[in-house]
Amino acid sequence: MEGSSSLLDAEAVADLVLLDPLTEESLVQTLRERFRRRDIYTYIGNVVISVNPYQSLPIYTPEKVEEYRNCSFFAVKPHIYAIADDAYRSLRDRDRDQCILITGESGAGKTEASKLVMSYVAAVSSKGEEVNKVKEQLLQSNPVLEAFGNAKTVRNDNSSRFGKYMDIEFDFKGEPLGGVISNYLLEKSRIVRHVKGERNFHIFYQLLAGASPQLLQQLKLRQDCGHYGYLNREGSSLPGMDDAANFHAMQDAMRVIGFSPAEVTELLEVTAVVLKLGNVQLSSSFQASGMEACSISDPQELREVCELIGLEPGALERALCSRTVKARDETVLTSLTVPQGYYGRDALAKNIYSRLFDWLVNRINASIQVKSDKQRKVMGVLDIYGFEIFQDNGFEQFIINYCNEKLQQIFILMTLKEEQEEYVREGIQWTPVEFFDNSIICNLIENSTTGILAMLDEECLRPGVVNEDTFLTKLNQLLATHKHYESKETQNARRVTDASLPPRCFRIHHYAGKVTYNVTGFIEKNNDLLFRDLSQAMWAARHALLRSLFPEGDPQKVSLKLPPTAGFQFKLSVALLMKNLYSKNPNYIRCIKPNDTKSAMVFTPELVLAQARYLGLMENVRVRRAGYAFRQLYGPFLQRYKMLNPRTWPRWDRGDREGTEVLLAGLEFPAEELAFGHTKIFIRSPRTLFDLERQRQERVAQLVTLIQKMFRGWRCRTQYQLMRKSQILISAWFRGHRQMNRYKQMKRSALILQAYARGWKSRRLLRELKSQCRRQAAATTIAAHWRGYQARRTYRKYFRSSASTCLANFIYRRLVHRYLVGLAKNLPPLSVMDRTWPPAPYRFLDNTNQELKNIFYRWKCKKYRDQLPASRRAQLQARLCASELFKDKKTLYPKSLQQPFRGEYLGLKQNPKYQKLHAVAKDKLVMADTVRKVNRASGKTVPRLLLLTTEHLVLADPKAAQPKTVLSLSDIHGVSVTRFSDGFLALHLKEVSTGAKGDFLLLSEHLIELVTRLHQTFEATTGQALPLHITDRFSTRFPKGDVSITVVESPKASTNGPVCKKKGSNKMEVLVH
């Protein structure tokens, strides 16, 4: 929308066709206003006018590329991208080869424009590894060619000093496949000479600034530019141009394009040779004959050159200083004068360089050429040197301007003349527009008989004295009356005095202005001669690349034919170029230079007006206004747009014109927008065409959607059918499988049920049969018994009624017999300790067996006892008695089992001290021991000797060994002891004997033995058992009254047995442990 609004902005219309009023002033004013607004691009229809901004503008970003991509030409601001897009789309979609013609003066921005077009096409065409490689190679050809073919001129710091036409080739999808570059006339004179303030070709400066020290050494160069005669010694570097960086960029670009490192080295070597040739100095000398000759003044440089190219220095020196002349059959070596020598040297340097440049272009072409033979579409981009008017114009300017003249002719032919002629041809109503047709100028230069170039060639080939003066005279003669030709002489003839036209000059009124050419050097440059000796010397060099540049140096191929002249060659290549351009659809970019000082934002109206005039912009606008923007044959038009009308879509059977009319009638465009020619349809404004195109795009999108829809529907349907079939198959299989499983399950279950049922039935039957059997057996048994009973009853009377008892007795006896006999054979051992006895074999023998066991045991014991000695028996009896008395009653008892019952502890017999006591006891002594007697009053104890005889119990004083107390056993009433493990005993006496002292309380260490023996003896003496009380509480009788004694268990063990404590008058506590 931005674009369309500026399109209608009256002050700065985007399309000059809309200019009102249309005057030269308003045109320049509009360009100026737009330039001020930094809108450097303006349209005239589909021609783009570009005004060089001399500053970088932010309008070439990737976002901008996206904006212009596939957009409608007039919907966005004018831009070089728009025309590039239009051309690219036309190529891709309409299958028409395109060419983009970029014209303008030197420094107007042509080369920049061509790069922008290329980069845009590269950005919008499809991507892919292969395609990207091709694009990259195409784009990278620019830095390489610019390094070798561009130089700083007064007008432009980066001026192309050669013409370039590049065909970019695409496949049917619009993907770049490759390209071909053609170069035109390199300005080789620059190698040896350039105007003050200009520079030689960039490569020399780049090489010296950017090469590494090793490379420089390898090339035998010095970094200092001032050292080299061919280079600009004052201003070798340019502001804003980094030669070193550019050198590296160029090397990278070469790598991308596919140059091998060896090729790059060779290329740089030849470049170095050119540079060094400029330093080969000559000096004059005289031969013996007195003739002037020249020689190399400093052989060092020459030697280095020869080392670089692999040539013997003498050979090159010979070639530089002398010349072989063939006269009839002889060859004569003539030496050259110093100027001739320099001429030869410079010619060699120029030739080497220009041939090297051609080689470079061919080498790039070899890399980028299309390898496949697919059908291709071509987009040509022409960036050729612009029109040049200098102070001093030479042969180069003449050639360059001739080329521009031809390009202008194309423009005129295609946009003005051709177009207008076409309207007439097609029978369209048309008012002719006046314009300047420059074919007369072209004719002046290129006419094959009277043209300036033809005459120059003639002069060059003519034998005899030939120089520029004869050439000029000839021109003056032939072209004296030509409107566009002037010279001093023709002016004189017309009596015009023009101080600006010096002698030895001629002037041509070019379409872009009058240019005065100085004829000096015309012949020489046209001839472009190189002494054969030099080309032969080059061919003789071992350097492969250099050698290949001079094929004519091969002595085998010497031809006497003169090579074609430079002018002739150029004319030929321009004619070829024109033919090429005519075959394509042209797109114009007309570059305008806004000022002469390369300054940003400076607009010099006079300068722009001059350019606008000679570019024919006014005429262009006029024709455009009156004419039609678009035309096409009815056939292709109908073919392209027939889908826009249901009547013509999908098929139209009648004529193309009729079809086009029907088609457009349906679209309701205003009548003045369309014109129907004899063979073509004409559409006036691009807007209508864009509308048509937009509608087509929409319709195509609809149709595509329809086709897609149908296809997708079909695909989904078939897919669905397939899935359905598969699904049915799967479910059939699945169901089958499931049913089979279910059937198997049921079969298994049925079998199990059957098995159970059958089992159950069989078991029932079996049970039935078994019970039947049992019943039968029972019935049989009952019957047997019954019969038996009946028989016995019947036959009882015939037997003794006691027969059964008799039998039973017999059987019993027999069993008993067997039992007893068996027992006798298997009697258990006779050890008393062994209590085993075989069990009874029958139950009825249990009691008997038990009885026999007891008898046997007792018998064993008796036998044991019988064989025991009497003392042992008495001891055992005493033990038995002790056990009966104390076992489980007194805790002292278990301890006493370890102690043997010694009876005699005192040793009465042996100890004479106890003689008296021994006498008392005599033979009746049962036991003698020491005891302690408890004092009745205090509870204290005193030791006493105790003697037990069969009749008495004697207590004696241990010291005196005299009996103190003698008790008859029959006086003893009873004995009391405690339950505990102490040796305390109370000896209760009968009342009769207590007259004196009462009961005794004693402590014995052999209490169990004492009491047992007392008991035994008492029983033996009195025939009665001795009453023994095992108790905790008892009373004793003493003369002073009864004392009740309580036995108390003390938790502490006392050392000397029990302790008796008197508690009050009639209570005593015995603390035992």
Ligand X SMILES: Nc1ncnc2c1ncn2[C@@H]1O[C@H](COP(=O)(O)OP(=O)(O)O)[C@@H](O)[C@H]1O
List phi, psi (to 5°) of 706.
Answer: -60, -50
Choose among Mg ion, ligand X, none what residue 591 binds, the Cβ cut-off being 5 to 8 Å by kind: ligand X
Single out the residue of 675, 587, 683, 691 nearest to residue 628, CA to CA. 683
Nearer to ligand X, 78 or 344 (CB): 78
From the list 68-76, 153-161, 581-589, 986-994, the region that binds Mg ion by CB under 5 A is 153-161
Out of 158, 295, 569, 580, which residue is the one contacting ligand X (CB under 6 A)? 158
Catalytic pick from 386, 553, 627, 1057?
386
From the list 30-38, 104-112, 689-697, 828-836, the region that binds ligand X by CB under 6 A is 104-112
Confirm whether 107 is a catalytic residue.
yes
> Which strand (E) or helix (H) includes residue 668?
none
* Strand, coil or helix: 817: helix
From the list 155-163, 223-231, 285-293, 322-330, the region that binds ligand X by CB under 6 A is 155-163
Choose among Mg ion, ligand X, none what residue 299 binds, the Cβ cut-off being 5 to 8 Å by kind: none
Instruction: Write the Ramachandran bin of 45: left for phi over 0, alpha for psi from -120 to 50, otherwise beta.
Output: left
Number of amino acids touching ligand X (CB under 6 A): 21
Nearer to ligand X, 487 or 611 (CB): 611
Confirm whether 106 is a catalytic residue.
yes
List phi, psi (to 5°) of 676.
Answer: -105, 110
List phi, psi (to 5°) of 99.
Answer: -135, 145
Nearer to Mg ion, 103 or 487 (CB): 103
When asked if residue 160 is in the footprint of Mg ion (CB under 5 A), the reply is yes
From the list 158-166, 937-945, 973-981, 1058-1066, the region that binds ligand X by CB under 6 A is 158-166
Confirm whether 160 is a catalytic residue.
yes
Catalytic pick from 42, 50, 106, 141?
106
Question: Is there a contact between 272 and 216 (Cβ–Cβ < 8 Å)?
Answer: no
From the list 49-57, 175-183, 230-238, 992-1000, the region that binds ligand X by CB under 6 A is 49-57
Out of 42, 72, 111, 516, which residue is the one contacting Mg ion (CB under 5 A)? 111
The sign of the torsion formed by the CA atoms of 517, 518, 522, 525 equals: negative
User: Cα 767 to the chain's mean position, in Å?
Assistant: 83
Closest approach of Mg ion to the CB of residue 511, in Å: 20
Question: Is there a contact between 552 and 65 (Cβ–Cβ < 8 Å)?
Answer: no
Nearer to ligand X, 60 or 857 (CB): 60
In angstroms, the CA 317 to CA 64 distance is 59
When asked if residue 994 is in the footprint of ligand X (CB under 6 A), the reply is no
Written as six digits, the tokens of 899 are 């102690």
Question: Is there a contact between 539 and 553 (Cβ–Cβ < 8 Å)?
Answer: yes
Choose among ligand X, Mg ion, none what residue 535 binds, the Cβ cut-off being 5 to 8 Å by kind: none
When asked if residue 451 is in the footprint of ligand X (CB under 6 A), the reply is no
Nearer to ligand X, 604 or 695 (CB): 604
Q: Cα torsion at 358, 362, 368, 370 (round to 10°)?
A: 130
In angstroms, the CA 359 to CA 941 distance is 154
Nearer to Mg ion, 110 or 944 (CB): 110
CA angle at 438 for the pair 436 and 439, rounded to the nearest 5°: 130
> Which strand (E) or helix (H) includes residue 620?
helix 617-626
Q: Say which amino acid occupies 471.
A: F
Question: Is there a contact between 392 and 568 (Cβ–Cβ < 8 Å)?
Answer: no
Choose among ligand X, Mg ion, none what residue 112 binds, the Cβ cut-off being 5 to 8 Å by kind: ligand X
When asked if residue 187 is in the footprint of ligand X (CB under 6 A), the reply is no
Out of 108, 151, 403, 621, which residue is the one contacting ligand X (CB under 6 A)? 108
Closest approach of ligand X to the CB of residue 670, in Å: 37
Contacts to ligand X from residues 52-71, by CB under 6 A? 52-57
Nearer to ligand X, 107 or 210 (CB): 107
Catalytic pick from 103, 153, 156, 1036?
156
When asked if residue 52 is in the footprint of Mg ion (CB under 5 A), the reply is no
Confirm whether 111 is a catalytic residue.
yes
Closest approach of Mg ion to the CB of residue 197, in Å: 18
Contacts to ligand X from residues 372-411, by CB under 6 A? 386
Cβ-closest position to ligand X: 109
Strand pairing class (163-170; 377-383): antiparallel
- Would you give the binding string for ligand X spanning residues 566-595, x where CB under 6 A is met? -------------------------x----
Question: Is there a contact between 190 and 200 (Cβ–Cβ < 8 Å)?
Answer: yes
Q: Is the peptide bond before 1027 cis (omega within 30 degrees of 0)?
A: no
> Count of residues for the chain?
1073
Residues 6 or more apart whose CB falls under 8 angstroms from that of 984 comprise 977, 978, 1001, 1002, 1003, 1007, 1047, 1057, 1058, 1060, 1070, 1072
Q: What is the DSSP letter of 922?
A: T
Confirm whether 388 is a catalytic residue.
yes
Choose among ligand X, Mg ion, none what residue 223 binds, the Cβ cut-off being 5 to 8 Å by kind: none
Confirm whether 163 is a catalytic residue.
no
Question: Is there a contact between 412 and 438 (Cβ–Cβ < 8 Å)?
Answer: yes
Catalytic pick from 30, 159, 322, 354?
159
Q: What is the DSSP letter of 235?
A: -
Catalytic pick from 105, 388, 396, 673?
388
Closest approach of ligand X to the CB of residue 158, in Å: 4
DSSP letters along 1026-1047, please? PPEEE-SEEEEEETTEEEEEEE
Nearer to ligand X, 48 or 948 (CB): 48
Choose among Mg ion, ligand X, none what residue 142 binds, the Cβ cut-off being 5 to 8 Å by kind: none
| 540-549 core/surface letters (b: 16 or more CB in 10 A; e: else) | bbebebbbeb
When asked if residue 156 is in the footprint of ligand X (CB under 6 A), the reply is yes
Written as six digits, the tokens of 492 are 């004189």
Question: Residue 757 to residues 577, 754, 765, 831, 926: CA-CA distances in angstroms?
Answer: 111, 5, 12, 71, 96
**Which residues form the catalytic set?**
106-107, 111, 156, 159-160, 386, 388
| Contacts to Mg ion by CB under 5 A | 110-111, 160
| Contacts to ligand X by CB under 6 A | 52-57, 104, 106-112, 156-160, 386, 591
